[in-house]
Structure 1
Amino acid sequence: MSILEKQVDNIEKGTKIREYLKVELGLSTRLIRSASLDKRIFVNGEVVKMNRVLNLGEVIKIDLAKDESQDIAPEKMDIDIVYEDEDILVVNKKPFMVVHPTKSYQSGTLANGVIYYFMESGQNCIVRLVSRLDMNTSGLIIIAKNQFSHGMLSKEMSENKVEKKYLALIHGIMKEKQGTIDLPIYKPEGIENGIRRVIDERGQRSITHYKVVEEYDESSLVECKLETGRTHQIRVHLSHLGHPIYGDTLYGYGDEEGDLIKRQALHAYGLDFKSPRSGEVLSLRANLPDDMNELIKKLK
């Protein structure tokens, strides 16, 4: 059972619990309403209504456990868990894996495996994705275990307070060894354009900070830190600079690199964010996958 607990240590006279939960704990109106209807909010051990006036020193407890179901079939699979606590699960997604079921991919997704893991470990949770990755991008993904952590971390994401770091293997040697790419990304209209994005003034402002980590004969390993999170942002930005990512058939050199790597050589290796419960900064890392390490050997 996951309990959120807080002792009232600073409060204005006449403050009601609904207001306190929103302002002091940052809880969403939706979560408060849901927990209140389910009688999962307690003060000094007793269920209370949301117009209850709080007093200094009282103890608030919110039971975050909630009976929920999700139309995702559980599937046993090897999941690389990098971090876990009562609120979140962070996994290192393998390449070639879809994150969540779609019409084209009903099974074999990360969500199928996570649901199975939750069931096997006796955790009554559904899959609440805080972050996502393309099918062919490997790396760290945050999954919230409850409505509280999902709301808090989604807000941090929308305000760009979650630091996301990637490693990419690119063509060529960059003239500037570190810098910032600040170029708008736009999705052209029309079915013929598919999912491809372009640099265009009509697009959304997109900012990528980059730093060269290693250089080889005619290629480089580059760290990219996202300030914004647009679709294909790193791939579009690097390709526009004339340094497409190896294996990127959409923004790079097509299928001719299939003998080097079978996907874009892009890995979400780092996440830095605050724990939704404690406020402690979590700094999580995932090593480069085998196919990118093999590519580095070939490039050397």
Structure 2
Amino acid sequence: MCTIEKKVEEEHKGKKIRLFLKEDLGISSRMIRSASIEKRILVNKVPVKMDYLLKVNDNVVVNLFKEESQNITPEPMDLDIVYEDDDIIVVNKRPNMIVHPTKNNKSGTLANGLLHYFKETNQKCIVRLVSRLDMDTSGLIIIAKHQFAHMQLSKDMSEDKIEKRYIAVVHGNLEKLEGTIDLPIYRPDGEGAVRRVIDSRGQRSITHYKVVERLKNADIVECILETGRTHQIRVHLKALGHPIYGDTFYGDENDNELINRQALHAYGLNLESPRTKEVLELRATLPSDIENLINLLKV
């Protein structure tokens, strides 16, 4: 059973448990309400009401799991699980895979495979995506197993506290071996637009880059995101005049002979575990299509 557990100290004596859960344990009001109704909040092994006044040495336990369902069909799938514990699962998504079902793609998504995995391993979880990747971008995706983990990690993500590392293969050789791209990214055509551009009206966007290997007429570049805008790396590298191989949206339409998607891989994540606060440094190997591209460009 996955729980948050805390012994009450002198400073919290007489405090209502609702305030203690919210202010000291970081649990949202919404989660407190549902956990209270379902009797998942215990003091000294007994369910209590939210106006309960804490006593010194009370043992407060919150059971984080609840019965939930999701309108997604479980499908057997070969998942590359890089890390898993009671709170999260991190998967290395293969290229050309949609993360979550859509109106036109209800099966074959990462979420379909994850629900099947949860069912087969007797885990009563739904798919709570903390991070997402474009269909054609491969790499690490974080999925929370319960509401508390999702809430904590989504907050960390919004505050740019989760370090995301990418590998990209770009056209040409960059002028500088490393640097920072600090250019605002804007969506020019309203809410439904997909394409992004560099524009002073956009949100500030920061990408740190480093050339890890220089090829004949290409570079292998590590990018670390300080902000997380849609298409940020793709737009920033294009702005430098070095679009990513295979990126027909922002680059060269003739790249399909070498690779059939953008050569962009989310290979690294540094984050804090939402419950234990353990620092996790997770890495994924390059997929075969990017390795094949690099070998072709070395010739």
- TM-score where L is the length of structure 2: 0.97
Alpha-carbon distance between aligned partners in 2 of 1:233 and 1:59, rounded to the nearest angstrom: 46
- Provide the secondary structure at the position in 2 that maps to 1:61: strand
| Counterpart residue number, 1:166 | 166
| Counterpart residue number, 1:204 | 203
Note the residue ranges of structure 2 that are not aligned, 5 or more in a row: none
Counterpart AA for 1:298:
L
| Counterpart residue number, 1:155 | 155
In the TM superposition, 1:137-156 aligns within 5 A as 137-156=137-156
Alpha-carbon distance between aligned partners in 2 of 1:69 and 1:190, rounded to the nearest angstrom: 34
Per the TM alignment, residue 190 of structure 1 is displaced from its structure 2 partner at its CA by: 5.9
Compared with structure 1, are the counterparts of its residues 10 and 261 closer, same or farther at alpha carbon in structure 2 (3 Å cutoff)? farther
Note the residue ranges of structure 1 that are not aligned, 5 or more in a row: none
Alpha-carbon distance between aligned partners in 1 of 2:8 and 2:193, rounded to the nearest angstrom: 53
In the TM superposition, 1:1-300 aligns within 5 A as 1-9=1-9, 11-189=11-189, 194-254=193-253, 256-300=254-298
The 4+ residue runs of structure 1 with deviation greater than 4 A are none
Per the TM alignment, residue 155 of structure 1 is displaced from its structure 2 partner at its CA by: 0.5
- Provide the secondary structure at the position in 2 that maps to 1:11: helix
Alpha-carbon distance between aligned partners in 1 of 2:49 and 2:193, rounded to the nearest angstrom: 51
- Provide the secondary structure at the position in 1 that maps to 2:34: helix
Per the TM alignment, residue 5 of structure 1 is displaced from its structure 2 partner at its CA by: 1.4
Per the TM alignment, residue 277 of structure 1 is displaced from its structure 2 partner at its CA by: 1.1
Conserved? CA contact 1:179–1:211, under 8 Å: yes
Per the TM alignment, residue 10 of structure 1 is displaced from its structure 2 partner at its CA by: 5.3
Alpha-carbon distance between aligned partners in 2 of 1:20 and 1:164, rounded to the nearest angstrom: 33
Conserved? CA contact 1:166–1:270, under 8 Å: yes
Alpha-carbon distance between aligned partners in 2 of 1:42 and 1:59, rounded to the nearest angstrom: 8
Counterpart AA for 1:81:
I
Conserved? CA contact 2:180–2:209, under 8 Å: yes
Alpha-carbon distance between aligned partners in 1 of 2:129 and 2:10, rounded to the nearest angstrom: 34
Alpha-carbon distance between aligned partners in 2 of 1:217 and 1:84, rounded to the nearest angstrom: 40
| Residue deviations 1:236-257 (CA, integer Å, cap 9, x gap) | 0000110000000000011x11
Conserved? CA contact 1:11–1:55, under 8 Å: no
Alpha-carbon distance between aligned partners in 1 of 2:102 and 2:257, rounded to the nearest angstrom: 29
| Residue deviations 1:144-197 (CA, integer Å, cap 9, x gap) | 000010001001001110000000000111111111111111111169x94111
Could you tell me the percent identity over the aligned residues?
A: 63
Give the aligned CA root-mean-square deviation in angstroms.
1.2
- Provide the secondary structure at the position in 1 that maps to 2:139: strand
| Residue deviations 1:253-287 (CA, integer Å, cap 9, x gap) | 11x11111010000000000000111110000000
Per the TM alignment, residue 13 of structure 1 is displaced from its structure 2 partner at its CA by: 3.4
Counterpart AA for 1:55:
K
Counterpart AA for 1:59:
N
Alpha-carbon distance between aligned partners in 1 of 2:49 and 2:83, rounded to the nearest angstrom: 36
- Provide the secondary structure at the position in 2 that maps to 1:291: helix
Counterpart AA for 2:129:
L
Per the TM alignment, residue 41 of structure 1 is displaced from its structure 2 partner at its CA by: 0.1
Alpha-carbon distance between aligned partners in 2 of 1:24 and 1:115, rounded to the nearest angstrom: 33
Alpha-carbon distance between aligned partners in 2 of 1:11 and 1:274, rounded to the nearest angstrom: 27
Alpha-carbon distance between aligned partners in 1 of 2:74 and 2:5, rounded to the nearest angstrom: 32
Per the TM alignment, residue 56 of structure 1 is displaced from its structure 2 partner at its CA by: 2.1
- TM-score where L is the length of structure 1: 0.97
- Provide the secondary structure at the position in 1 that maps to 2:157: helix
Conserved? CA contact 2:246–2:255, under 8 Å: yes
Alpha-carbon distance between aligned partners in 1 of 2:49 and 2:80, rounded to the nearest angstrom: 42
